[in-house]
Structure 1
């Protein structure tokens, strides 16, 4: 099981797509109307992780690996509910924790016949928020089918997208809650991969245009019971245009001054910082472009997938 408190900063951008539709508002991308900031729920990110592990890493119920929260057709029709899923594991909590990586990561409520058991997830994320203001774009078009049998007129479709959004998520991995769900270092490595490659593999029609750009995982020294917090608020975009006109990562750089200074200030509490970065992303520190591995006060450890 993991023994270190850890903190995550994950950035990805979205181009001409809907990062997270609101089903109660015509499935429009979620926008903070006061600020123009694009919002993505933590549930959306967790779903990305679950889908990647299910589709690409063999967590499909075979070989002792599974995803507990997923859609499975019920013998009675429709989709299985939580109680039916628990019965798939014979309501054996040890078996659920052993097989279901999403419960080890994110926790969950396991509804049993006599009671419900709640596992607090070691991995928790804030709502994702864009680093730039965005404008919604309303698109209309014609469908492939006629509006009715024997009619020549085609149906119309319409949708809402964001032209460009750079979204930042902040998360915590709580080593104390990890004892309850038995979260391992291998699980955390898979989380890194699933966030990165899972985002890249959002290639449905409404999600095409997602690209992971940078992921930092700060690993604190064992026994610290400490984290900096609010890492997403310690970075900013540098740009020379109207904010809403940003369209690609070539239009700005990411200012890491406050983040790097904070990491350096608490370097005595940090064991290492694991990171993945898109080579096309421009990072700046003290007004200059730089590589994370150039920071000598902290051990940066690069990952590749």
Structure 2
């Protein structure tokens, strides 16, 4: 496995990329820059949903309803995996630490999201050891994303509409729905795959390929009302030939042209060009340590430097051919 830096761009039209529950579910914003923000948790949810629903992969962090209609807590989820351990191994577990080791091994074997992103797993004590305390497993994920940020200023728009149901039994007046949307935003995420941390969670090359695919196609699969209208536009993977090689925050090198374009007025990706000059310069400064670039690109996003054969921004490159 190679150290890999990730740059991912997608856009959103007339939707809310990531509502803030502490602010009337308005789109998350940076007050100083006027740019939209999207949490890494939101992107990871997109990835998890695609891996589970389209890829059939087991996911640890997902909502599971119990027989009484309540939602599983973390301890309940941990017990699910303790039950998957052989009866012999369960019976041989003498302490909560023994139980913790069994659950950790089972979760890492089964759950791709824990191998990717890590997790904190609460471990209930064994019923036979009443004097013990509960324990937990903390695994640091080898794949991490920073918060996503729009490459331009945005201006949320307030929308009010009628709902399908009356406000109460016997009432004539329909309910109203109120929401905030962004007319347009081009959002960039930065992430990294750390090959050293991958050893701890037993992350495989196959897991990493599934991650890249789920970033792209998971975005396409977002069909809820508030998230519909998102399009993956560019996924760039910088694979290094040397351990621990690193540039960092590649998204900060991205700019949009023309520079005088008023961000709040943008309504379509066709109105702008992604300026890759600074990113290309940064990559060429580390070219000796770069194994290759891999990329997926929707040509609706105009680039200042387009891939040419097996070259992109002066580096050897391979097209992922995602559609």
Give TM class, smaller chain. over 0.9
Query: Could you tell me which residue of structure 2 aligns to residue 107 of structure 1?
Result: 118
Give TM-score, length-normalised by structure 1. Answer: 0.92
CA displacement at 1:281 relative to structure 2: 1.2
Matched, 1:275 2:292: no
Displacement of 1:36: 0.7
Aligned 8 A contact 1:8 1:216 in 2: yes
Would the alpha carbon gap of residues 302 and 77 (structure 1) be closer, same or farther in structure 2, given more than 3 Å must change?
same
**TM-score relative to the length of structure 2:** 0.87
Q: Which residue of 1 aligns with 2:176?
A: 156
Aligned to 1:62: none
8 Å Cα contact 2:36-2:149 kept in structure 1: yes
Match of 2:249 in 1: 230
User: Quick check: 1:205 aligned with 2:221?
Assistant: no
Q: Secondary structure of 1:25's match?
A: coil
1:76 shift after superposition: 4.5
Provide the C-alpha distance between the structure 2 equivalents of 1:202 and 1:39, rounded to a whole number of angstroms. Answer: 18
1:300 aligns to 2:317 (yes or no): yes
Match of 1:96 in 2: 107
How far apart, in 2, do the equivalents of 1:296 and 1:158 lie? 45
1:177-198 CA-partner distances (Å, limit 9, x unpaired): 1000011111111001100000
User: Is residue 153 of structure 2 the alignment partner of residue 125 of structure 1?
Assistant: no
Note if contact 2:60-2:113 (Cα within 8 Å) is conserved in structure 1: yes
Cα distance between partner residues in 1 of 2:168 and 2:115? 49
User: Counterparts of 1:155 and 1:77 in 2: how far apart (Å)?
Assistant: 27
Q: What is the distance in 2 between the residues matched to 1:216 and 1:76? A: 45
The answer as to whether partners of 1:13 and 1:211 remain within 8 angstroms in 2 is: yes
Contact 2:116 2:203 in 1 (8 A): yes
> Corresponding residue for 1:68?
60
**Structure 2 unaligned regions, length at least 5:** 83-101, 125-133
1: CA distance, partners of 2:298 / 2:37: 22
Larger mean CA deviation between 145-154 and 270-279 belongs to 145-154
Aligned to 2:26: 28
Q: Does 1:259 align with 2:279?
A: yes
Matched, 1:79 2:71: yes
Q: What CA distance in whole angstroms lies between the structure 1 residues aligned with 2:75 and 2:68? A: 13
Contact 2:116–2:141 (Cα < 8 Å) also in 1: yes
Q: Distance in 2 between matches of 1:185 and 1:304?
A: 18
Distance 1:205 1:136 in 2: 16
1:283–1:291 Cα contact (<8 Å) kept? no
1:43 aligns with 2:41: yes
Alpha-carbon separation, structure 2, partners of 1:297 and 1:72: 48
> SS of the residue aligned with 1:191?
helix
> Matches of 2:122 and 2:169 in 1, distance apart?
47
Instruction: Tell me, yes or no, if the aligned pair for 1:275 and 1:302 is still in contact at 8 Å.
Output: yes
For this pair of structures, how many residues does the alignment match? 292
2:11 is aligned, of 10, 13, 16, to: 13
Please give the secondary structure, in 1, of the residue aligned with 2:113. helix
Gaps of 5+ in 1: 60-65
Is structure 2 residue 193 aligned with structure 1 residue 173? yes
